[in-house]
Chain A
Amino acid sequence: MTSVIVSSPYVSPSKSLRQLMINVIIGLVPGTLAYIWFFGYGVLVNIILAIGLALIFEAIVLKLRDKPIKPHLTDFSAVVAAWLFALCLPMNSPWWLVLIGIGFCMIAGKHLYGGLGFNPFNPAMVGYVALLISFPKEMTTWYLPQVISGQSLSLIDSLAYSFGLFEIEHWDAFSSATPLDQYKTGLTQNLAASEIFQSPVFGALGGVGWEWIAGGWLIGGFWLLISRTINWHIPVAVVCGLLLFATGRYFLDTATVASPVFHLFSGSIIIGAFFIATDPVTAATTNKGRIYYGLMIGMLVYIIRSWGGYPDGVAFAVLLANMCVPLIDYYTQPRIYGGQDQDE
């Protein structure tokens, strides 16, 4: 009798890559639902378009690279990346914007580096930043939440709108900057935070609607923690990094500076902390390193929001922190069993 030689251990792994990705997708659902609730089906159209195109790009590149297509498509990593990318886009984005962005995300952000596991930068953020720099007008045309504008589109209309087949008069009248953008513009006009917050786009905690969406991400984030898909280190460190600066400055200057709560519930800091910064491939892997990495993102977000050129800074902060990951990992190696000093 003979048998195949395989190396130990001979036990089935408890988790699969696909399961981890599905957990992330489940975690994205509450926030996405809230997002659609407040901003209409345009959000959903973005997501569907992005996922469909991402899978097509992934399949083409895998074919070109002579890699097995099915196992890679069904690990759902492309779905997660596309979903996160779509959430960054303004609702009702034209189809070509999604196409260019997701193409850059999958090809340049992921496969040119060698595919899943080899990309140093978060692919979704790479795609988003490429668009933000290349198409500033399209990327900053946001719409008012439906509760304010009173305008809503059906799913079919939203889809048609993305493909330029549907026009509404005065639709532009409902476009608006995001709350963070308004806050930033107000600051450049030397307005005090209290004055800026008079605008109807601001709610109790952050922007109207946005605060609920952030709550949705928070629920999803807790799910990720409970299901042990991610560890607490990165999200907590990101939030702490932001709060550290935001609170410090708020107490020094309550008049002109937005409250830490506003910073937390506006923009993408919560989704960034739980879903984007925690992308394992591009994040630090040691526990101590994760804390440095998260703190760095939180602080960079605050710096970019307050003094940088962009209203929100999560994408840039994550990409900058991605760059530092090899260094962070190298210098935060834990002490091994029987190792001598604490910081070996």
Chain B
Amino acid sequence: MSIKLHKFHGGLHTEDHKKGSLISGLQQATLPAQLILPLKQHIGDSNKPLVSVGDRVLRGQLIADSSSAISAPVHASSSGIVSEIGARPVPHPSGQSDLCIVIDVDGKDESIKQKTSPIENLSGAELIDKIQRAGIVGLGGAVFPTAAKLARGNDLGIKTLIINGAECEPYITCDDTLMQNYAAEVVSGIAYLQCILKPENTLIGIEDNKPAAIKSIQLAIEKSPLSQTEVVSIPTIYPSGGEKQLIKILTGKEVPASKLAFDIGLFCQNVGTCVAITRALEHDQALISRIVTLSGNGIQNPGNWEVWLGTPVSHLIELAGGYKINQAKSQHLVMGGPMMGFSLSSDAVPIVKASNNILVMQQQTIPLTPGYHDECVRCAKCVEVCPAQLLPQQLYWQARAKNHERSEEYHLFDCIECGCCAAVCPSQIPLVQYYRAEKSEIRTARQAHFKSDRARLRFEFREQRLLLKKQQDEERRRLKREALQKKNPKIPDRKVEVDPVQAALERVKARKQTQAAEPRNTTNLTPEQQQQIEEADARRRAAREQPK
């Protein structure tokens, strides 16, 4: 059984730089002195901390959770004392800090009591619930809560399950290592996904530059009872690991713009997530570690490590023999790959669920001097490589002019930020940077628009409500008056009687008269008080007359 492969538009043949980190195999990282666990390591709603400073926590203990459906809880990666809950720098493109739970590791690595329960009789919904409680998110980089995705996929019905082992970005080898070392767990993870989603068939896409991984997965499938499951070796071309691109390669289908894969009966999951699912279901193990690649020409010993989440990047760099040049300043740190990763402001940030790779590059290998670039000459090399089939040169023009409407007309939001356009641009324009800025500006404008719209609606509703109330009040008064008149016809009609101006004048006059008659606080004084007043008056007079 072999399927017909398809091509997506554009893409790049990049130098893969993968050998360096594959030599030493998978290594187990040591425990750092401190674990820094950001409360939010997923896409969705924020978590609240469940522990406080001073608490002792155990490995696998739930330390942050949310009641929202789209969220993933955080667990302690090892045992220790919570020493701080506060803002720390976290790995995020914005470079900003976020709330983290800091654990001073005690080195005992004590685990919470595992209550392994048999899973054979669990229903799909129960399995999904277990996956949710383990804090599993998509480990391919998107970190979308897996349970929420599974529940939605289950509702819509899935025809084809796609397992993403493409790993198309240069330098990154964590999924390759994972497939070689944990093939059996990948395959049983796939079995659980099949059990939940009940797809007709399953395709595992792996780029053909990973023959060892392809072989291990194939062997593992042969040993397993899985059926209708096929490993597909796909051509190595960036970004084949993008969900939409992988779908196109394997099925020839395109996910309609502004829709998601499960809208057309497809469900994509990364191989790393499959392993996490196996561990959660079979061993009740929460997501507390992952494989991270350390690579780049600025690091002594590149390689792959199984790392506890929350480990500071600096600890990992020490494990890899440190920076190549002692002057740490000449290094440039990137989390993720060179195409889609983002700069880290310091190596104090922790490894999180999304961290697949830490790239250490010597500063001089970064081609972009911020600030200066040539102008776009509209050569359209970017159009040739854009896998989303956009017109990057037109988008750049609109984004530069901050012409939001036109940017959207040119499908700005279908840009997957893969970086192909910027990589081929002869004018070396940081195109993706322009698109990111434009996207965030449009989002902000939309939000402001949404808010003002809501305020306007509220205002209009209030006006209407007040008007209605006034009318109702008037109506009620009228009915009451009529009822009273019927009951007692002597009550005169109010309207005719007095001229209101005249009445007001008279009221004022009356008030003035009463005021004049009222006693003031200077009447009825004692002789002493009278004397004091007179003395004070005399002093004032003297002061006034004194020459200056």
- A residues at B contact (CB < 8 Å): 1-17, 19-20, 68, 71, 75, 77, 115-118, 231, 280-281, 283, 285-287, 329, 333-340
Collect the chain A residues with CB atoms within 8 Å of residue B103's CB. none
- Which of B155-163, B193-201, B376-384, B534-542 sits within the interface? B376-384
B22 interface residue per 8 A CB criterion: no
Question: Are A3's CB and B430's CB within 8 A?
Answer: no
B28 interface residue per 8 A CB criterion: no
B38 interface residue per 8 A CB criterion: no
B339 interface residue per 8 A CB criterion: yes
Question: Are A16's CB and B426's CB within 8 A?
Answer: yes
> Given A11-B14, A285-B380, is A338 in contact with B244 using a C-beta cutoff of 8 Å?
yes
Question: Are B375's CB and A5's CB within 8 A?
Answer: no
Question: Are A335's CB and B333's CB within 8 A?
Answer: no
Question: Are A339's CB and B368's CB within 8 A?
Answer: no
A interface secondary structure, majority: loop
CB-CB contacts below 8 Å: B1-36 with A: 8-9, 14
Residue among B14, B257, B379, B393 making CB contact with A20, cutoff 8 Å: B379
Collect the chain B residues with CB atoms within 8 Å of residue A12's CB. 365, 367
7 pairs of A and B residues whose beta carbons are closest in the complex:
A117-B375, A9-B419, A7-B433, A1-B328, A338-B257, A280-B379, A10-B338
B332 interface residue per 8 A CB criterion: yes
CB-CB contacts below 8 Å: B250-292 with A: 254-257, 259
Question: Are B244's CB and A14's CB within 8 A?
Answer: no
- Which of B180-188, B343-351, B467-475, B505-513 sits within the interface? B343-351
B interface secondary structure, majority: loop
Question: Are B394's CB and A285's CB within 8 A?
Answer: yes
Alpha-carbon gap, A4 to B345, bound state (A): 7
A-B contacts, 30 listed (Cβ < 8 Å)? A1-B314, A1-B328, A4-B370, A6-B343, A6-B430, A7-B433, A7-B436, A8-B334, A8-B338, A8-B342, A8-B343, A9-B419, A10-B334, A10-B367, A10-B368, A11-B367, A11-B423, A13-B426, A19-B426, A71-B372, A117-B374, A117-B375, A231-B380, A285-B380, A285-B394, A335-B389, A337-B248, A337-B387, A337-B389, A337-B414
Alpha-carbon gap, A68 to B95, bound state (A): 31
> Given A4-B370, A7-B433, A335-B389, is A116 in contact with B339 using a C-beta cutoff of 8 Å?
no
B411 interface residue per 8 A CB criterion: yes
Question: Are B340's CB and A281's CB within 8 A?
Answer: no
Alpha-carbon gap, A287 to B430, bound state (A): 23
Alpha-carbon gap, A111 to B70, bound state (A): 54
Question: Are A116's CB and B375's CB within 8 A?
Answer: yes
Question: Are B375's CB and A1's CB within 8 A?
Answer: no
Alpha-carbon gap, A339 to B387, bound state (A): 13
Besides the known contacts A6-B370, A11-B367, 18 further A-B residue pairs in the complex with CB atoms under 8 A apart: A3-B331, A3-B332, A3-B345, A4-B363, A9-B422, A9-B423, A9-B432, A10-B368, A13-B422, A15-B426, A71-B374, A75-B374, A116-B377, A117-B378, A280-B377, A287-B383, A334-B391, A337-B388
Residue interface bits B417-433, CB-to-A below 8 A is 1, else 0: 00100111111101011
B329 interface residue per 8 A CB criterion: yes
Residue of B328, B377, B432 ringed by the most chain A CB atoms within 10 A: B377
Collect the chain A residues with CB atoms within 8 Å of residue B254's CB. 337-338
Distance in Å: Cβ of B445 to nearest Cβ of chain A: 21
Alpha-carbon gap, A17 to B339, bound state (A): 21
Collect the chain B residues with CB atoms within 8 Å of residue A340's CB. 256-257
Residue of B339, B376, B424 ringed by the most chain A CB atoms within 10 A: B376
Distance in Å: Cβ of B259 to nearest Cβ of chain A: 7
Residue among A5, A8, A11, A231 making CB contact with B95, cutoff 8 Å: A5
> Given A7-B436, A8-B419, A337-B254, is A285 in contact with B383 using a C-beta cutoff of 8 Å?
yes
B302 interface residue per 8 A CB criterion: no
Alpha-carbon gap, A5 to B335, bound state (A): 12
* B254 and chain A: residue at smallest CB distance: A338
Question: Are B338's CB and A115's CB within 8 A?
Answer: no
Alpha-carbon gap, A281 to B393, bound state (A): 11
Question: Are A285's CB and B345's CB within 8 A?
Answer: no
Question: Are B340's CB and A17's CB within 8 A?
Answer: no
B366 interface residue per 8 A CB criterion: yes
> Given A2-B345, A280-B378, A336-B414, is A9 in contact with B340 using a C-beta cutoff of 8 Å?
yes
Question: Are B375's CB and A13's CB within 8 A?
Answer: no
B361 interface residue per 8 A CB criterion: yes
Question: Are A9's CB and B255's CB within 8 A?
Answer: no
B192 interface residue per 8 A CB criterion: no
Collect the chain A residues with CB atoms within 8 Å of residue B423's CB. 9, 11, 13-14
Residue interface bits B388-415, CB-to-A below 8 A is 1, else 0: 1111011000000000000000110010
* A339 and chain B: residue at smallest CB distance: B257
Alpha-carbon gap, A50 to B10, bound state (A): 39
Question: Are B424's CB and A8's CB within 8 A?
Answer: no
Residue among A15, A117, A329 making CB contact with B394, cutoff 8 Å: A329
Question: Are B389's CB and A3's CB within 8 A?
Answer: no
Alpha-carbon gap, A15 to B381, bound state (A): 10
Residue of A3, A8, A19, A285 ringed by the most chain B CB atoms within 10 A: A8
Alpha-carbon gap, A336 to B368, bound state (A): 29
Alpha-carbon gap, A281 to B410, bound state (A): 19
Distance in Å: Cβ of A203 to nearest Cβ of chain B: 36
Alpha-carbon gap, A335 to B377, bound state (A): 23
* A1 and chain B: residue at smallest CB distance: B328
Alpha-carbon gap, A68 to B373, bound state (A): 11
Collect the chain A residues with CB atoms within 8 Å of residue B436's CB. 7
Distance in Å: Cβ of B215 to nearest Cβ of chain A: 30
* B418 and chain A: residue at smallest CB distance: A9
Collect the chain B residues with CB atoms within 8 Å of residue A117's CB. 374-378, 427
Alpha-carbon gap, A283 to B379, bound state (A): 9
Question: Are A1's CB and B329's CB within 8 A?
Answer: yes
B341 interface residue per 8 A CB criterion: yes
Collect the chain B residues with CB atoms within 8 Å of residue A4's CB. 332, 343, 363, 366, 370
Residue of B341, B344, B379, B432 ringed by the most chain A CB atoms within 10 A: B379
CB-CB contacts below 8 Å: B294-345 with A: 314, 328-329, 331-334, 336, 338-345
Question: Are B345's CB and A5's CB within 8 A?
Answer: yes
Alpha-carbon gap, A339 to B411, bound state (A): 10
* B411 and chain A: residue at smallest CB distance: A336
Collect the chain B residues with CB atoms within 8 Å of residue A283's CB. 378
Alpha-carbon gap, A241 to B183, bound state (A): 59
Collect the chain A residues with CB atoms within 8 Å of residue B424's CB. 13-15
Collect the chain A residues with CB atoms within 8 Å of residue B411's CB. 336, 339
Alpha-carbon gap, A13 to B394, bound state (A): 19
